[in-house]
Amino acid sequence: MPIDPDLLAAEFESRRPRLRAVATRLLSSSAEADDVLQEAWLKLALADVDAIENLDGWLTTVVSRLSLDVLRSARVAKADPWAVDAWEERASEDPDPAAVAAGNERVAVALVTVLDLLAPAERLAFVLHDVFGQSFEEIGEALGRSPAAARQLASRARRRIRGTDAPARVPAARSRAVVDAWLLAVQEGDLSRLLGLLDENAVLHADYGASAVRLEGAAEIAASARTAAHLATHSVPVLLGGRPGVAAVLRGRVVSLMAFEIDGDRIVGLDVLADQARLAGLDAATLLGA
């Protein structure tokens, strides 16, 4: 039996203050939070409410995912994460000490500023768990990741916010060593070395245009990587939006990009772009130094 629209609206309104608090803390914008809540209400109005066992959890997940979409869209608008540069052009550059000092001052100003320094998934995991007390199971559902991966994201965010406990920025030389070791291990199909390079909770996201693939955990990622020896043989290290990465070039054409997220000496995340429509404009000759 369909729920009465007025009753459904009342249920939503009773939860609005908390949902708005979640969205506002995630987005640091009251206006964007209100937009997210409006979209969440529309989703609820169209949903099969009888099938929702936990309305609080369902709404929190919806608001979290909508907020995550906003955060990711904002990041894309600021910088193209797949902007490709030859590694040699920038790998040896060190950050300006003045810029580092300014960044440290901003971290000390307010929590909202610190949150801006976090990746969207880290921000969501930290805010939902440390501020609103959501379980890692609930956070993992909102992120589309395992509870263990959600826990790691929150822990990484916590280290960055504490500042003094945060791991040092991975030097360019170390990042390059990890990338080179990855390529060699993939080329040789060395499962043991691949597992040694991957964090046990690493996550890989791949965009093929018409489809997407998500792999979770070192074992699953390493097993898949062993099938990519041919691509690794034809790959060159590059910088992707400033991140360490590799570009696979076959017959003079870039066929895939892979960006690495490295913590210490371990790979904690891999993002793959293999959508040929998006790769069509890349100049392979420049990356190969031709």
Query: Which tokens sit at 288?
Result: 């190969």
State pLDDT tens for residues 77-132: 444 566 787 776 444 444 444 443 433 333 333 344 456 667 788 889 988 998 88
Domains of the chain, CATH where assigned: 5-78 (1.10.1740.10), 96-162 (1.10.10.10), 172-287 (3.10.450.50)
Predicted confidence (pLDDT) per residue in 244-258, tens digit = 999 999 988 999 999
Helix (H, G, I), strand (E, B) or coil at 153: helix
What is the rounded distance in angstroms from the CA atom of residue 61 to the CA atom of residue 70?
14
Percent of the chain with pLDDT over 90: 39
Instruction: List alpha helices for the chain, DSSP H.
Output: 5-27, 30-46, 55-78, 87-90, 97-109, 111-116, 120-126, 136-143, 147-162, 172-188, 191-197, 218-225, 229-233, 276-279, 284-287
Pair 185, 174: CB distance under 8 Å? no
Q: Which residues of 200-229 are buried (b: 16+ CB within 10 A; e: fewer)?
A: ebbbbbbbeeeeeeebbbbeebbeebeebe
pLDDT in tens, 144-165: 889 998 998 888 888 776 653 4
What does pLDDT average to over the chain?
A: 81
Instruction: Using alpha carbons, list the distances in angstroms from residue 167 to 98, 155, 158, 160, 283.
Output: 20, 12, 11, 8, 35
Number of CB atoms found within 10 A of residue 53's CB: 7
pLDDT given at position 170: 63
